[in-house]
Amino acid sequence: MGATLIEFSLDKRSGVATYMQIVQQVEQAMRLGRLTPGDRLPTAAEVVGRLAINPNTVLRAYRELESRGLVEPRPGLGTFVRRSLARPRDPVLEQRLAAWVREARAAGLGPDDIRALVESALAGGLAGEATA
Amino acid sequence: MSGVPALEVTGAGLRYGRTWALRGCFASVPQGRVAALVGPNGAGKSSLMRLAVGLRRADEGEVRVFGQPPRGANLPRVAFVAQDKPLYPELTVAETIRAGAGLNPRFDVQGARRRLDDLGVPRRKRIRQLSGGQRAQVAITLAVAKRADLVVLDEPLANLDPLARHEVMEGLMSAVAERGLTVLLSSHVVAELAEVCDHLILVSRGRVQVAGDIEELVSAHRLLVGPSGTTPAGSYDVIGRSDTERQTTLLARVRGPVHDPRWTTRELSLEDMVLGYLRAPEAVLAPRPVAL
Amino acid sequence: MTWLAIRLHRVRMVSMALVVVLWAGFVAAERLYPGIRGISAGLFPYLPLVMGVFLGAPLLSREYERGTHQFAWTQSISRSRWLAPQIGTAAVLALTTTGLVTALIWWSLSDLPPELTGVLPFTWALFALALGAFWSAVTRRTTVAMGSAFFGVAACQLMAEGLRNRAARELGWSSAALGAAEAAITAGLAGVLVAGAWWFVTRRDPG
């Protein structure tokens, strides 16, 4: 049935429900292109054989992914990735971001400051937004 | 999967001599669940398990496993690992597997051997020569290899190191995933069950205090914090309360929204909810018998 | 599950083999030193005590003491089907040991005392075993069951001795009739005691 493509890991202190952590990790893997359409997700037995969690939790995560239209169960075969979340890479955007990060570092900003700025920009709360 | 509960306890009581260890207990575990039997030491967890596996008969009420009493022809459907993982110490691991195969018609010899080989438990060693963790693995492997539909484990994680705990749980959860079996396991440490169990039976002072789906139970309870001397408006039952000079904290089972701007509402963890009930032994939230 | 019952009796099998070796020693001694002739038969009444104490008394109490009854009785077979091979194995072991020891005495001495003829030694062995097993099921403590079995069997032997003498003296029974009656009574009591042990195992709940 092929090798296991991804493995999940749990952060027990994150406060995020276990099934949601699995959902997020599948989505993340899909965004980064590590899971592409047609890939099989590990079975519940494979997951619980490593994580020692309730298999119903895994099934629940897969149902959630299914309801988001990301995966589909094929009876007797497993759960398969239906579509891609990975975007084609944009070299221009990536170069400009890298250049900006270098500038920010040079201006004395640490990783947390940079993250906060990015978050803030995503939320639309930066000074330049109104005029842009 | 049929609708018959894997375990149904209706008004069960159990007596040791003239002292009641359990009285008027109600609980039901649907098939395919991993149920946690939780409570302080001496609350009656082991007694409830003995009833469930047929080691004792209820002195009042009834205990049914898949709709039948846990005796006779129903014995192959229930497996049990008692607290100290009793096995015959003079037998080797291989002989213990042989005994399991001889005592159970559905016994999975290959599966048991494979599992113990994977765990690195030497088959030629005698049970008395094994470490506590290895012995627990043998006992639990035997219970799973019986191919029972309900596996009952009394404190399976007690006296195990963290790695062995993880391995025990991995093995159990794999069996649940592969075969859809129902598990009832007891512990007095709630935290170690949160990732594993989806059903709760809370026993204290010889009765079932709370029983039901963990998620439903947790989402039905809230911690309400507000100024002392006031009570928030809304539909809820107070399980426990603590007061300081300025502030009142309520552990409540809510039936609808609580709207009072002076009061804040917080969600609870499973552990906090269990603690709240243990501090309020008179509060009971367990299924009652269906009127006949 | 006969294999398991036999396997769990392995140590007791070795002990019984040693008992036979011990009697072989007595027999060898009385043939070498005719002055102590009769010692092998004279010590024979101790054999049922050995059966009661070492085969009967540990039978169930060791399960309770080690908690293994919780393993054995939650497998797929009923307690009766678990108990039958346990008692059966112990009984076969008791009868074999008794048979070998009486054969040794027989070979050494030409004139045998009445308690060593016919089925009497075997019914006494079964009675002692059953008494040990009964106390084992009742007390659930090996040491207590061993003590109860020892004094129980010894008391019964003394009573039997007294009854035997009285019946011979007052009723004038022949030794053959006496032996037959004694065998029937001990065998019957053995049956009752085994039934009692079975009742305690299957009907009374483990603590």
Question: C 5-24 residues with CB below 8 A of B?
Answer: 7-8, 10-11
Kindly provide the b/e burial profile for residues C1-13, where b requires at least 16 CB atoms within 10 angstroms of the residue's own CB. Answer: beebbbbbbeebe
Q: CA nearest B175 in A: which residue?
A: A45
Q: State the nearest Cα–Cα gap between C28 and chain B, in angstroms.
A: 35
- CA pair distance C104, B270, nearest whole angstrom: 73
For residue C24, pLDDT over 70 is answered with yes
Residue ranges of the domains in chain B? 7-212, 220-279
Partners of chain C (3+ Cβ pairs below 8 A): B
End-to-end CA distance of chain C: 24
Phi, psi angles (nearest 5°) of residue C28? -60, -40
- CA pair distance B7, B22, nearest whole angstrom: 16
**Among A92-106, B276-290, C171-185, whose mean pLDDT is lowest?**
B276-290
- What residues does A73 pair with on adjacent strands? A79
Bridge-based pairing of strands A71-74 and B60-65 is unpaired
Residues of the domain holding C158: 2-203
pLDDT digits (tens, 9 = 90+) for B50-95: 999 999 999 999 999 999 999 888 999 999 999 989 999 999 999 9
For residue B287, pLDDT over 90 is answered with no
Whether residues B103 and C77 touch (CB distance < 8 A) is answered with yes
Q: What is the pLDDT of residue A2?
A: 55
Whether residues B177 and A12 touch (CB distance < 8 A) is answered with no
Q: What is the pLDDT of residue C118?
A: 85
Q: CA nearest B87 in C: which residue?
A: C68
pLDDT band at C89 (very low <50, low <70, confident <90, very high): very high
DSSP H/E element including C127: helix C120-139
Bridge-based pairing of strands B182-187 and B34-38 is parallel
Structural contact between residues C40 and C23, judged by C-beta atoms closer than 8 angstroms = yes
Closest CB to A54: pick one of B166, B173, B178.
Answer: B173
Indicate left, alpha or beta for B119 from its phi (over 0: left) and psi (-120 to 50: alpha). alpha
If we measure between CA atoms, which residue out of B13, B268, B19, B34 comes closest to residue B150? B34
Mutating which of B16, B63, B75 best tests the C interface, going by the most C Cβ atoms within 10 A?
B75
For residue A36, pLDDT over 90 is answered with no
Among positive and negative, which fits the CA dihedral A94, A96, A97, A98?
positive
Structural contact between residues C128 and C54, judged by C-beta atoms closer than 8 angstroms = no
pLDDT band at B189 (very low <50, low <70, confident <90, very high): confident
- CA pair distance C124, C119, nearest whole angstrom: 9
Please, what is the average pLDDT of chain B? 89
Please, what is the average pLDDT of chain C? 92
For residue A1, pLDDT over 50 is answered with no
Query: What number of residues does chain B have?
Result: 292
Q: State the nearest Cα–Cα gap between C67 and chain B, in angstroms.
A: 6
Q: Over range A9-36, report the average pLDDT.
A: 87
For residue C131, pLDDT over 50 is answered with yes
**Residue C163 neighbours by CB under 8 Å, 6+ apart:** none
Structural contact between residues C87 and C194, judged by C-beta atoms closer than 8 angstroms = yes
pLDDT band at A3 (very low <50, low <70, confident <90, very high): low
Structural contact between residues B223 and B250, judged by C-beta atoms closer than 8 angstroms = yes
Whether residues A48 and B195 touch (CB distance < 8 A) is answered with no
Q: Give the HSE-up count for residue B157: Cα atoms under 13 Å, Cβ half-sphere.
A: 22
- CA pair distance B88, B176, nearest whole angstrom: 27
Q: What is the pLDDT of residue C48?
A: 95
Number of domains in chain C: 1
Residue ranges of the domains in chain A? 18-81, 91-122
Q: What is the pLDDT of residue B147?
A: 93
Query: The domain B7-212: what is its CATH number?
Result: 3.40.50.300
- What residues does B25 pair with on adjacent strands? B12
C1 near B CB under 8 A: yes
How large is the ipTM?
A: 0.90
Phi, psi angles (nearest 5°) of residue A87? -95, 150
User: Structure tokens of B203?
Assistant: 């026993």
Q: What is the pLDDT of residue C5?
A: 95
Structural contact between residues B159 and B132, judged by C-beta atoms closer than 8 angstroms = yes
Q: Over range A93-119, report the average pLDDT.
A: 90
B53 near C CB under 8 A: yes
User: Structure tokens of C171?
Assistant: 């009723």
Instruction: Report CA B218 to chain centroid distance, whole Å.
Output: 16
- CA pair distance A68, B75, nearest whole angstrom: 44
Fill in the DSSP letter of residue B124.
T
Residues A18-81, CATH architecture: Orthogonal Bundle (1.10)
Q: CA nearest B176 in A: which residue?
A: A55
* In chain C, % of residues over pLDDT 70: 99
Closest CB to A52: pick one of B170, B178, B198.
Answer: B170
Q: CA nearest A44 in B: which residue?
A: B177
Mutating which of C2, C12, C74 best tests the B interface, going by the most B Cβ atoms within 10 A?
C74
Bridge-based pairing of strands B207-213 and B234-243 is unpaired
Mutating which of A19, A48, A58, A62 best tests the B interface, going by the most B Cβ atoms within 10 A?
A48
The residues of B whose Cβ lies within 8 A of any Cβ of A are 32-34, 166, 169-170, 173-174, 176-178, 195-198
- What residues does A14 pair with on adjacent strands? none
